Amino acid sequence: MTSAQHIWIVLGILFVLLNIAAGLIWVERRLLALFQDRLGPNRAGPLGILIVLADTLKLFFKEDWIPPFADRWVFILSPAIVVGAVLMSFVIIPFAPGIVVADLNIGLLFFLAMSSLAVYSIVLGGWASNNKYALLGALRGASQMIAYEVFMGLSLMGVVMMTGSMRMADIVNAQKEAWFILTQPLGAIIFFIAGIAETHRLPFDIPEAESELIAGYHAEYSGMKFGMFFIGEYLGITLISAMMVTVFFGGWLGPAFLPAWGWFFVKTFLFIGLFILLRASLPRPRYDQLIGYGWKLMLPLVLANLLITGAVLLLLKN
Amino acid sequence: MQLLFYISSFIALLATVMVITRYQPIHALLYLVVSFLAVAMIFLSLGAPFVAVLEVIIYAGAIMVLFIFVVMMLNLDKETAAQERKWLTPKVWLGPSLLVLVLLGEMIVLLLKGNGSALPGTTVPPRAVALSLYGPYLIAVELAGFLLMAGIVGAAHIGQHKKKHLHRFLEEKSTIP
């Protein structure tokens, strides 16, 4: 691949991702309306799709206020961290054979490293706002994300053991006979739950919890800085969906009537839809329930999954 | 590639100096995170991507978050920064600077000697490290696990507190014989 081609791939992926993240504003509101038996935004443009434009314009032209009591530089830095870290994670995702920014041999670990850096945006944003609610949100966010990072990493290790590689392209190619959802169902479920907690989406949106903490860690943010958190959340949903597809649902593999990238996008959008369905249907657990559920249920389950996977692999080898 | 190494080591040094000289604890910790990321970059440029990513996951992504978590709860304010400013007088710098100068002298001697390596080194792949950790050094790994377990038990003991009932009807009548 020439470097010119490489630059085109990078720009193309960036363009598609940012447009998906913006388009999800409309998708989420329409789908939520469908699930809740109402209409949703339907005035601007066909099916109301121009609501995306209206929302973006609103975010750009709102007053971008930095509270005088805030820690100025950290306050400005933290919205950038979440978008940066999530976009960096997309570096390793193969959208189709050959369409990937960097096919690292430590791909899966790189994803985990970047998702662990995304915690800083919540923690620093909440601290720099110098506001009780924001700080409470930041504290909750930090402990929730640190706890669920552990299971997220461990749930992927079963797949790594079966593939013998952390390169994403190898993981996809190893699913030619059977997707890993069939051989690693427990890992897939735990990864998805940990992914919801990592992106702090409903039902695990405890750092924001608007009914108890106003808006949690981004209570003081306005204008495009709030927009960055917003975009970061939608990018996070897309990232977890894309990872689910790549690691457990065969990535770009599928019958030949759709192109490889077509299969990838269809599967990814199914998972994005599932994220939105979860938001529409599940209540939020209490904070201690979330943490207890993580350490007392998910950790033993994921360790058992690793143990069984290892034992079966050893048996099959002999 | 050598340029990448020099850039990242310069950033690591600069960030570490900033860690020591910041008055606001959170800012110091942020520079420490940058320093860890720069060290990870150095590992990457030396051709050890596995170690680089572990550095990011464990130090920058987990341990530093917990540090910031704790410092955040301490509610350190402008008064603390003023106190730091009072403590960090030029006299305090004397001892550490002397010790660092000795290390600097050692480094200059090593660099002048030639290839800059005092000990003979071999490349060890991660797989070999893992196999020896879970083979001949198993007991050391288990002892380290014990040590961590002691920490967890201690934290759980300190963290637990007696259930307090705020309503008088729910209080246990321990005074009745």
The full set of domain ranges for chain B reads 1-76, 125-153
| A1–chain B nearest CA distance, Å | 21
Q: CATH number for the B1-76 domain, one of 3.40.50.300, 3.40.50.2300, 3.40.630.10, 1.20.120.1200?
A: 1.20.120.1200
Count interface pairs A-B at CB distance under 8 A. 63
Q: Measuring CA to CA, which residue among A271, A260, A185, A288 is closest to residue A236?
A: A271
Across the range A16-20, mean pLDDT stands at: 89
The dihedral sign for the CA sequence A291, A294, A297, A303: negative
Calculated CA dihedral for residues A182, A185, A187, A191, nearest 10 degrees: 110
Task: Give tens-digit pLDDT for A49-108.
Answer: 888 888 888 888 888 888 888 888 888 888 888 899 999 888 888 888 878 888 888 888
Q: Measuring CA to CA, which residue among A271, A189, A279 is closest to residue A237?
A: A271
Q: Please report residues of A whose CB lies closer than 8 A to that of B56.
A: 113, 116-117
Which DSSP helix (H) or strand (E) runs through B160?
none
Peptide bond into B120 cis (omega under 30): no
- CB-CB contact of A248 with A274 (8 Å): no
Report d(CA A269, CA A245) in Å as an integer: 10
**Residue A174, burial from CB neighbour count under 10 angstroms (0-12, 13-18, 19+):** middle
CA A219 to chain centre: 21
Check CB contact under 8 Å for B50 and A124: no
Across the range B141-170, mean pLDDT stands at: 83
- CB-CB contact of A219 with A211 (8 Å): no
Note the pTM of the prediction, 2 decimals.
0.84
Q: Which two tokens stand for residue B37?
A: 């990321």
Check CB contact under 8 Å for B65 and A120: yes
The full set of domain ranges for chain A reads 65-317
Q: Give the number of C-alpha atoms closer than 13 A to the C-alpha of residue B125, restricted to the C-beta side.
A: 3
Match 């920064």 to its residue by tokens: B81
From A7-16, A291-300, B62-71, the region with the lowest mean pLDDT: B62-71
Confidence band of B117 (pLDDT split at 50, 70, 90):
low
- CB-CB contact of A2 with A98 (8 Å): no
Check CB contact under 8 Å for B56 and A117: yes
From A4-8, A112-116, A165-169, B81-85, the region with the lowest mean pLDDT: B81-85
Mutate: best of A119, A149, A291, partner B, most B CBs <10 A: A119
| A48–chain B nearest CA distance, Å | 41
A51-57 LR contacts (CB < 8 Å, sep 24+): A51/A25, A51/A26, A52/A22, A52/A23, A52/A25, A52/A26, A55/A25, A56/A22, A56/A227
